[in-house]
Chains A and B, each alone.
Chain A
């Protein structure tokens, strides 16, 4: 059986995020008690430990903290994609997310401003990529 490399976008624990990406939005959990924006999704607030949560759209803009360029596929599933670049983005609203950097001719350097770009990689599955603003 082929490895299932796509996320279960209907998993109740993460489905609102995946619906958000299909709609071109970044949607994360917000603690209804303390307001902390939580990423990745989880059952309780990492800050105040409340389990009361709602899903909230946040700004798709952030700053590139750093990046790594894969010249070798450290996992065979990526062998057709090398070279590819993974970014760590600090979103203006707080959460930190890892995702692919859209190929660019611009100078890639920590500190540059980036915005989310939404790419459907499989019917119903849209990933957040990052592009330099």
Chain B
């Protein structure tokens, strides 16, 4: 089966930060309303719904049945992902459209994990918790230390991930962390899990985001310029510690090879790059595995300033999860679409046509999408 040509024709986001007193489902529904408004359609045009469970949410949260009920729709196709950030939900929708299950699919995500006081501090008696390896900062710190050992990467070089993203965030009114942060400020901040500092780790925030995907053919009829999905690819690494170098995540290169090959493009063709940043280390790794620099060379590449505003490779122009908000890569997708539509005001990058949107579920799996203003 060939991949149907699809496009994003609507995006929506709620306020980001703290949304006390609202359920995750309510936030997801409000984001959906924004996306429907953005697309300029009636909800009756939607015949597919993809939702996902927010991270760390207890019980039945984020299901298609509950969010579909809130929105008052009877979609032909509906599904909920246990793990459905950004690209994973998007790829399910693209697949469902390719299979003919639906033609116009609404994807929506909402979370109140900040207001709910969600904990990312690990379990109780699993092997990693028993060892004290709790929170993603632990394995990410190990991966950073290994990178430093193998390639001579410095803490300052790693710091440029967070500093560059903060520079981007200063021009993003949505961003939660906008106060200036220099590399000296970064280096002066205390370790959390050495060699990582607070600015290396994602914030925790409440918010909602939604996307509407349809066939390329239909996309021409909608109000906003379509952003076409040129290519998708995924790869898992579920063998976990049976894989050597698990924490370095070399399998991301498999995603890169496939997503570029499927589009007939390479890293040099990307005008914009969005890399999900649960930690700064993930950005460091993905710059290498996606071929924006050589393996082991991300440290100097970052220090040279390529990813900063005005640099040769705009990365996470919204500020990412390190500075904008913790929206599981959904707001990276939102930003990519807005940049490609030229809606980003003072941080708008000129002449952008192609964006890479990539993410990983830590050590388990990853996904990437190439977005383009061109249908071809």
Binding site for B on A (CB under 8 A): 3-8, 39-40, 46, 65-72, 74-76, 78, 81, 83-84, 86, 88, 96, 98-100, 109-111, 127
Contacts and interface: CB of A to CB of B under 8 A. Distances in A.
Contacts of B241: 39, 96
B190 interface: yes
Report, as a range, how many residues of chain B touch the other chain: 35 or more
B142 A66 contact: yes
A86 B247 contact: no
B178 interface: no
B131 interface: yes
Contacts of A65: 142, 146, 247
B191 A88 contact: no
Contacts of A7: 125, 130
Interface string B346-363: 000000000000000000
Contact of A81 (B122, B132, B194): B132
18 contacts: A8-B125, A40-B127, A66-B145, A66-B149, A68-B138, A68-B141, A70-B138, A70-B194, A71-B190, A72-B191, A74-B122, A96-B241, A96-B246, A98-B127, A98-B133, A100-B132, A110-B149, A127-B130
A97 to B, nearest CB: 8
Given A66-B149, A68-B141, A86-B138, A99 B131 contact: yes
A69 B124 contact: no
B122 A98 contact: no
B132 A70 contact: yes
Given A39-B241, A86-B133, 14 more contacts: A7-B125, A46-B239, A67-B145, A71-B190, A71-B191, A71-B193, A72-B192, A75-B119, A75-B134, A84-B132, A86-B131, A99-B131, A100-B131, A110-B145
Given A66-B145, A111-B149, A6 B193 contact: no
A100 B129 CA distance: 11
B152 interface: no
Nearest to A74: B135
A39 B240 CA distance: 11
Nearest to B135: A74
A83 B181 CA distance: 26
A129 B218 CA distance: 61
Interface of B: 119-122, 124-125, 127-135, 137-139, 141-143, 145-146, 149-150, 190-194, 239, 241-242, 246-247
B121 A74 contact: yes
A66 B247 contact: yes
A83 B241 CA distance: 25
Contacts of A67: 142, 145
B131 A69 contact: no
A100 B131 CA distance: 6
Contacts of B239: 46
Nearest to B197: A71
B68 to A, nearest CB: 37
